[in-house]
Amino acid sequence: MLAALATLRKTLFSRFMAGVGGLLALALATVQTILGAMPATSLPTVAPGEAIDAGRWRVAVLAAKVSTEPRPDGYRGPQGKASLSVDLDILNQTSESSNVVSRILTIDPPIAGLEGSPTFYLLRDRSILNALHPGLPERVRVVWAIPAEAVPPDTVRLTITAETFKPRDNLLATPGWFNPKTIAAVTLPLGSAGRGDGS
C-alpha cells in the first residue's frame, strides 16, 4: 500500500514537473513572438549622402526623383509609366562578389501604384547591374516603374535592411548572411528639387 502510494507520488511529481517545463517553454515562445512582432521603437535616421554600414553592404542614399526620361540603359520603361529612381553609392564589404542587393531598400510608407521590384543599374556602364565585387564601390541607380499620371508625394522615405553574418549556419555549417532587419531610414525630397546629378 505504502509502496503504491510512493509510486503514485513519484508519477504525479514527474508529470507536474513536465507540465511546468512545457508551460515555461510556451511562455518564452509567446514573449519572443510578441517582442518580434512589435514595431521598432525608433529607427535611426541617416542624412542623404551619409554612408551607413548595412551588413554586407556599405551604402549611402544620395537622391531620388520621378521622371519620364529614359533609364540609364536607354530603355523608356513600360508604356504609360514614369520612373521613380534612387541613386546610391554602394560598396560590397564582404569577401565575395555578390549580386544580392535587391533587398536593401524598401519604400516605407509605400507609394501608391509603385511596381513591386525595382531594377538596379550600374551608372558607370549605363547598364543593368550584375555582381558587385568586394572593395570596389559603385554608383547605382534603383528604378521603380510608377504610373505616369500618379501624383508623387513631396518626399520619399526609404528604409535600409541589413543582414547579419553567421560563420556557420544551422543546416550545412556554411557561412552566410541571415536575419534581415531594418536598421535605418532616410527621407529624400522628390521631384524637381530632388533631381540627382548626372540625370
Which residue in 113, 115, 123, 133 binds another protein (CB under 8 A)? 133
Which residue in 130, 155, 164, 179 binds another protein (CB under 8 A)? 130
What is the Cα–Cα distance from 85 to 135, expressed in whole angstroms? 25
What is the Cα–Cα distance from 94 to 63, expressed in whole angstroms? 25
Question: In this complex, which beta carbon is closest to another protein, that of residue 91 or of residue 185?
Answer: 91
C-alpha distance from residue 54 to each of 62, 139, 184 (Å): 15, 16, 9
Near another protein by CB under 8 A, which window of 33-41, 66-74, 80-88, 124-132? 124-132
Query: Least distance (Å) from another protein to the CB of residue 80?
Result: 29
Under the binding rule (CB under 8 A), the answer on residue 137 touching another protein is yes
Which residue in 10, 103, 124, 181 binds another protein (CB under 8 A)? 124
Query: Least distance (Å) from another protein to the CB of residue 73?
Result: 13
Near another protein by CB under 8 A, which window of 5-13, 82-90, 93-101, 151-159? 93-101
Under the binding rule (CB under 8 A), the answer on residue 138 touching another protein is yes
CA 141 to chain centroid: 17
Q: Which residues contact 150 (CB under 8 A, 6 or more apart)?
A: 82, 111, 112, 113
With CB under 8 A as the rule, give the number of residues binding another protein: 19
Inter-residue contact 94 to 164 (CB < 8 Å): no
What is the Cα–Cα distance from 155 to 122, expressed in whole angstroms? 24
Query: Least distance (Å) from another protein to the CB of residue 98?
Result: 9
User: And the C-alpha cell for 160?
Assistant: 535600409
Under the binding rule (CB under 8 A), the answer on residue 131 touching another protein is yes
Under the binding rule (CB under 8 A), the answer on residue 125 touching another protein is yes
Under the binding rule (CB under 8 A), the answer on residue 38 touching another protein is no
Under the binding rule (CB under 8 A), the answer on residue 97 touching another protein is yes
- β-pairing, 81-92 vs 138-147, is antiparallel
Query: Least distance (Å) from another protein to the CB of residue 168?
Result: 6
Q: What's the length of the chain? A: 199
User: And the C-alpha cell for 33?
Assistant: 513572438
What is the Cα–Cα distance from 114 to 93, expressed in whole angstroms? 30
Instruction: Provide the β-strand partners of residue 161.
Output: 182
Which residues are near another protein by CB under 8 A? 95-97, 122, 124-125, 127, 130-131, 133-138, 168, 172-174
